[in-house]
Amino acid sequence: MAVGLASSLFSFLSAETGEKLPLSLSLEEVLSIGNLEDNALYQWIGVAVDAEGFIYLTDGMDYSVKKFSPQGGLIQKTGCRGQGPGEFLAPRLLGCSDKQVFVTDQNTLVLQVFDRSLRYISRIPVRTPVVDLKVFPDGRFALADVSIGRPGKIVLFNKTGHVLKEYSYSRKTGPLMEDWVSFELDEHDNLYLAYSFQDKIERFDGRGRKLWSKDLLGMKNVKRQKVGPWEVPQSLVFKDIESDNQGRLYILGGGYSEKPSRTVYVLNPNGEHLSTFFLPESSHCIYIDRWNFLYSRACEGITLKKYRIFTAGIEH
């Protein structure tokens, strides 16, 4: 396992955007998992880190979930192609509670639950394929319940899959996929949305009331294209949203950002833009663990990078 502990320091300047922002961020690479010479990862998709720093990844190429030590060594692997217990057709997202690992499959309407040694425990039925997932330490989990022809919802479940709360963030049905989102839900049940196909970031409180809504790019409309018989959005506006342990939001921009799939916008919980920085390589997602380490993709999915986030400046 190649572990890149070299302290290559990348700097990310909001000055590049010409905008004076109150916070400056930089990243230092502290760990690299997977490379062209080993068989650790082929195409990782979902990432999560547990309370002890173990790293879990889904790998779409070998239909597996993999567990790595905090130092980056592969210590467990489970899964193969199939629809039985512990098997996958298209493993995607995952999340860790204190005791369990929850894994989504794009092509089956279940969440599979494993213990932290990746032994299969159970499956929980879901209504639609999952585009985003959040798992809390106590086992509660939330899903983006997006669909076609129905306004989108974020649904919060208890650890056995019973609905605790629904956030109906969209009141109308628009063009195909218009209200699909990535989301972040904090411990106080505040919901943050980054729209996949709209220039819109929103916050809702625990009662489902919208607190603010803002754009980051000044876009009015997302280009759509006809693919087969349907008009679909041409490119993603925002790919992912995460928060750190100080409540800051990190939003990964898509194809409309200055550096597509590398631009990360940082906002405070009130929606004020604090900083913008760039990942060294394009990524499909970002993940921030409880110690504020940031994880993203490199080498087209063969590599996972872990970074320490440095901040400087005064946050207003």
The footprint of another protein (CB under 8 A) covers 36-37, 42-43, 45, 60-61, 81, 89-90, 92, 106-107, 128-131, 146-148, 176-177, 180, 196, 225, 227-230, 232, 235-236, 239, 254-255, 260-261, 282, 284-285, 300-302
Taking the complex as a whole, the smallest distance from the CB of residue 303 to another protein amounts, in Å, to: 11
Q: Given the structure tokens 């400056």, which residue do they identify?
A: 24
Taking the complex as a whole, the smallest distance from the CB of residue 253 to another protein amounts, in Å, to: 10
Taking the complex as a whole, the smallest distance from the CB of residue 287 to another protein amounts, in Å, to: 13
Both structure tokens of 196: 């996949």
| Cβ atoms 262, 279 nearer than 8 A | yes
Q: Which is nearer to another protein, 140 or 284 (CB)?
A: 284
Taking the complex as a whole, the smallest distance from the CB of residue 240 to another protein amounts, in Å, to: 8
d(C-alpha 73, C-alpha 33), whole Å: 8
CA neighbor of 88 nearest in space, from 122, 49, 50, 58: 58
Q: Which is nearer to another protein, 78 or 182 (CB)?
A: 182
Both structure tokens of 109: 């309407």
Helix, strand, coil shares, percent, the chain, to 5: 0, 45, 50
Q: Which is nearer to another protein, 193 or 274 (CB)?
A: 193
Distances in whole angstroms, Cα of residue 108 to Cα of each of 89, 120, 244, 255, 284: 7, 16, 31, 28, 21
d(C-alpha 259, C-alpha 282), whole Å: 8
Q: Which is nearer to another protein, 172 or 209 (CB)?
A: 172
| Cβ atoms 125, 105 nearer than 8 A | no
Q: Which is nearer to another protein, 81 or 119 (CB)?
A: 81
Q: Which is nearer to another protein, 24 or 128 (CB)?
A: 128
Taking the complex as a whole, the smallest distance from the CB of residue 260 to another protein amounts, in Å, to: 6
Helix, strand or coil for residue 34? coil
Please compute, for residue 175, the number of CA atoms within 13 A of its CA located in the half-sphere on the CB side.
Answer: 15
Taking the complex as a whole, the smallest distance from the CB of residue 280 to another protein amounts, in Å, to: 17
Taking the complex as a whole, the smallest distance from the CB of residue 82 to another protein amounts, in Å, to: 11
Q: Which is nearer to another protein, 131 or 191 (CB)?
A: 131
Taking the complex as a whole, the smallest distance from the CB of residue 273 to another protein amounts, in Å, to: 23
d(C-alpha 316, C-alpha 299), whole Å: 36
| Cβ atoms 236, 197 nearer than 8 A | yes
Q: Which is nearer to another protein, 214 or 284 (CB)?
A: 284
Residue 195: burial class (beta carbons within 10 Å; 0-12, 13-18, 19+): buried
